[in-house]
C-alpha cells in the first residue's frame, strides 16, 4: 500500500514516516507541509492512504479531506491531530481512523490493521461482483428508486412503497443540510452561506466541523442506499445532485403546469393533491424554507379549488364540498374558499348549506381576528340567499 503524509510540522512528518517504514506494510512515498501541495500530488499520482493533519493553516485537514474525496473516494484518510477533542469529530468524517500526536508505534499498528482489513473486504466484494457479472444465469438485484417526502416533514424511504424502510438521521443538522441542499438542488451553495444559515449560532471553527460531519453523513446515506445522486464540493461550494431520488415536491411542481382540469387529468391531479400532507417542511420550521412554503401552499389551494370547480360544473357538488371542507381546515380565514363553497351549495340548491357556512365563517372571523367578511363575500351571500 502506498501513502502520503500531509502535516505542516516537519518533525511530525519524519516521525510518522519512520514508524510506517518500521511497520513495513505501508510505503510512505511522499510528505507535504501544505494541503495544497498534497492535493496537487494526488491529482496525478495514485495512493491508497493519506495521513492528514487536522490543524494546518490556510486549508485545514477537514477541508482537504473534501478535496481528496472529490479526487478519489476510494482513498483511505487517517486524520492526525494533537487535540483529543478533534478525535471523535474526525472519526465521524471521511476518516477511516484517527491517531493522536505524538503517534505511537502500537497505535499506528492498530490503524494499519484496520486499513488492511477494509482493503481486504473491498477486494473480496469486488471479486464477488465480477463473478456475478460473469454468470449470465445469476439473478440481478433490482434497486427501487428511493423516495423523498418534503411536505410536512422531511423523510427519505428506500422506495415509495408504504412498507419501505425510513432513514434515521444521525443529527437534526445533517437532516437540515440535506433539506437545504435539496431545496437548492443542482445549484452551487457557498460554504459561507451554509455556515450562516445553518450554524450561525456557533463559532466558525465549530461550524466547519459540524458542516463536514453532516456532509459525511449525507454522502454515507447516498452510498448505502444506492442513490445515483452526488454531493459535490468545488471552490468552497457544495451542490446536491438528486440522481434517482424521487421527491413529492418535484412531482407536485411538475403537475402544476396543467392548463385546466379535464376528465383526462382529473384523477392524476387528485393524486397530486394528496401528496400535500402539510406545508413544505412544516414541522421543521426552517426560516429559509418559509417563502417556498407559502408559494407551494398557494399552488395547492389553487389546485384543489380548480378540481372543486370541475366537480361542481359536472354536478358533483358533494365531492366538491368534501374537497373544500378539507381545504378550509387548512385555510379557515380564506374568503375565496368560502365564496366557492357557497356557489357549490347553490348549485346543489342547498340554501341551508349556504346559511350554515356563511354564519360559521362570519363567527370564526369575528372571534379569531375581529373582522367581518369582505364585501364581495357578503354580496355573494345575499345574492345566493335571495335566489
Q: Top-level CATH class of 147-246?
A: mainly alpha
Terminal-to-terminal C-alpha distance of the chain: 89
Please provide the average confidence, as pLDDT, over all residues in the chain: 88
pLDDT digits (tens, 9 = 90+) for 330-365: 999 999 999 999 999 999 999 999 999 999 999 999
Q: What share of the chain is helix, strand, coil (3-state, %, to 5)?
A: 55, 15, 30
Neighbours of 295 (CB within 10 A): 12
pLDDT digits (tens, 9 = 90+) for 165-217: 999 998 999 999 999 999 998 899 999 999 999 999 999 888 888 898 898 88
CATH number for the domain running over 249-386: 1.25.40.10
Residues 168, 155 contacting (CB under 8 angstroms): no
pLDDT digits (tens, 9 = 90+) for 271-300: 999 999 999 999 999 999 999 999 999 999
Global pTM value: 0.76
- What are the residue ranges of CATH 1.25.40.10 in the chain? 249-386
Name residue 4's beta-bridge partners.
30, 50
Q: Over 90: is that where the pLDDT of 45 sits? A: yes
pLDDT digits (tens, 9 = 90+) for 94-125: 566 778 888 999 999 999 998 888 765 455 54
- Residue 16 φ/ψ, nearest 5 degrees: -70, -40
CATH number for the domain running over 2-129: 3.40.50.2300
Nearest alpha carbon to residue 253 among 182, 308, 153, 187: 182
Write out the DSSP string of 184-246. TTTS-EEHHHHHHHHSTTS-HHHHHHHHHHHHHHHHHHHHHTT---EEEEETTEEEEE-TT-E
Label residue 135 by pLDDT band (50, 70, 90): very low
**Which helix (H) or strand (E) is 152 found in, with range?**
none
- Predicted pLDDT of residue 143: 38
Q: Over 90: is that where the pLDDT of 313 sits? A: yes
- What are the residue ranges of CATH 1.10.10.10 in the chain? 147-246
Residues 373, 365 contacting (CB under 8 angstroms): yes
Kindly state the average pLDDT of the residues 240-264: 94
In the block, residue with C-alpha cell 471553527: 205
Amino acid at each position: 500500500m502506498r501513502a502520503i503524509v500531509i502535516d505542516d510540522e516537519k518533525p511530525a512528518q519524519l516521525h510518522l514516516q519512520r514508524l510506517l517504514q518500521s511497520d513495513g506494510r505501508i510505503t510512505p512515498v511522499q510528505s507535504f507541509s501544505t494541503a495544497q501541495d498534497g492535493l496537487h500530488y494526488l491529482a496525478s499520482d495514485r495512493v491508497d492512504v493519506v495521513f492528514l493533519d487536522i490543524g494546518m493553516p490556510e486549508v485545514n485537514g477537514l477541508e482537504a479531506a473534501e478535496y481528496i474525496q472529490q479526487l478519489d473516494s476510494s482513498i483511505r484518510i487517517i486524520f492526525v491531530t494533537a487535540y483529543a477533542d478533534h478525535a471523535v469529530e474526525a472519526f465521524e468524517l471521511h476518516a477511516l481512523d484517527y491517531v493522536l500526536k505524538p503517534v505511537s508505534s502500537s497505535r499506528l499498528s492498530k490503524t494499519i490493521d484496520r486499513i488492511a482489513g477494509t482493503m481486504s473486504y473491498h477486494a473480496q466484494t469486488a471479486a464477488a461482483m465480477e463473478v456475478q457479472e460473469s454468470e449470465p444465469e445469476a439473478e440481478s438485484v433490482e434497486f427501487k428508486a428511493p423516495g423523498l417526502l418534503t411536505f410536512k416533514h422531511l423523510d427519505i424511504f428506500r422506495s415509495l412503497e408504504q412498507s419501505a424502510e425510513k432513514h434515521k438521521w444521525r443529527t437534526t443538522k445533517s437532516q437540515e443540510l440535506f433539506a437545504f441542499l435539496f431545496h437548492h438542488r443542482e445549484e452551487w451553495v457557498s460554504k459561507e452561506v451554509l455556515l450562516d444559515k445553518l450554524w450561525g449560532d456557533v463559532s466558525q471553527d465549530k461550524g466547519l466541523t459540524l458542516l463536514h460531519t453532516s456532509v459525511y453523513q449525507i454522502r454515507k446515506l447516498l452510498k448505502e442506499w444506492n442513490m445515483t445522486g452526488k454531493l459535490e464540493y468545488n471552490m468552497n461550494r457544495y451542490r446536491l445532485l438528486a440522481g434517482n431520488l424521487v421527491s413529492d415536491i418535484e412531482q407536485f411542481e411538475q403537475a402544476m403546469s396543467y392548463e385546466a382540469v379535464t376528465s383526462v387529468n382529473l384523477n392524476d391531479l387528485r393524486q397530486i393533491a394528496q401528496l400535500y400532507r402539510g406545508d413544505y417542511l412544516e414541522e421543521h420550521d426552517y426560516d429559509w424554507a418559509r417563502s417556498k412554503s407559502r408559494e407551494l401552499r398557494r399552488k395547492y389551494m389553487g389546485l384543489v379549488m380548480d378540481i372543486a370547480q370541475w366537480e361542481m360544473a359536472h354536478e358533483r357538488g358533494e365531492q366538491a364540498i368534501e374537497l373544500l371542507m378539507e381545504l378550509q381546515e387548512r385555510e379557515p380565514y380564506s374568503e375565496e374558499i368560502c365564496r366557492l363553497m357557497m356557489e357549490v351549495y347553490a348549485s346543489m340548491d342547498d340554501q341551508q348549506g349556504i346559511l350554515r357556512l356563511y354564519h360559521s365563517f362570519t363567527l370564526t372571523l369575528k372571534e379569531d381576528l375581529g373582522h367581518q367578511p369582505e364585501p364581495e363575500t357578503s354580496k355573494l351571500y345575499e345574492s345566493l340567499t335571495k335566489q
